[in-house]
Amino acid sequence: MNKAIVTENLSKKYKNNRGIQDINLEVDRGEIFGFLGPNGAGKTTAIKIMVGLMKPDKGNVRINGHDISDEYEKAMENVGCVVENEVHFSYLTAYENMKLRSRFYTDIDDAQIHKTLEIVGLIKYKNEKIKNYSLGMKQRFGIAIAILSNPDTIILDEPFNGLDVEGMVQMRKLILGLSKEKNTTFFISSHLIHDVELVCDRVGVIHGGKLLATDNTQDVLKNYSSLENYYLSEVDLSGNC
């Protein structure tokens, strides 16, 4: 089984007629996959369904070979995720939050907590309360929570959102480092074309709730010179421009 994530005909329609329609995609193990689209395109809806926070109207999701509907615990066993603006206990310190989260697992000790905070560059601030963190620090702390159990698949919803230039660079280095060192699979939703272009091995364009195209990033850059040109071309071809 070389596929980390597979979605088949994934659909969800809201009362306002927005949502997603027939999302079919496959993400290989060890791949960094970019789910690129504007705000309101359906990225978060798809991710919520993928991690079991929302039921689809139709379709199914398999993570690491397990159906999310029938084998939820097995499917999510080795998955870390950050969906939308995940709420932490802001009145607790980073260490206290991590300690609390570690109770969900059987083999995470203080050494693992400190190592995780070191990876995301927050070890110096482990005793600061989350409410005093900058946006970039909160984003990195979300990553720390996601990777605490050493998952082989990480799903991130808009990890670059709201970061300054330095924060974006740090986030890109973090994702690329984990991918290279641990062969971690990443599924990253974003509307920020430049960051997706610099980080992702492959990209899928979602617009108006539909997955318009997927392609290898290097092929995109070879054929279109930039991910922005590719994105605009696909949206234009779909008649949504």
- As a whole number of Å, the CA-based R_g of the chain is 18
Tell me what pLDDT residue 1 has. Answer: 61
Tell me what pLDDT residue 88 has. Answer: 72
Token representation of residue 135: 């946006």
Using 50 as the pLDDT threshold, list the residues of the chain that sit under it: none
Distances (CA, A) of 222 to 30, 160, 167, 191, 196: 23, 25, 28, 21, 16
Distances (CA, A) of 237 to 117, 140, 207, 234: 44, 37, 12, 5
Model pTM? 0.91
Tell me the longest C-alpha to C-alpha distance in the chain: 53
How confident is the model over 77-106, as pLDDT tens digits?
Answer: 899 988 876 667 888 999 999 999 888 887
Token representation of residue 154: 């990480």
Question: How far, in Å, CA of 73 to CA of 195, rounded?
Answer: 32
Of 198, 158, 161, nearest to 176 by C-alpha is 198
Question: How far, in Å, CA of 241 to CA of 234, rounded?
Answer: 9
How confident is the model over 121-137, as pLDDT tens digits?
Answer: 899 999 999 999 988 88
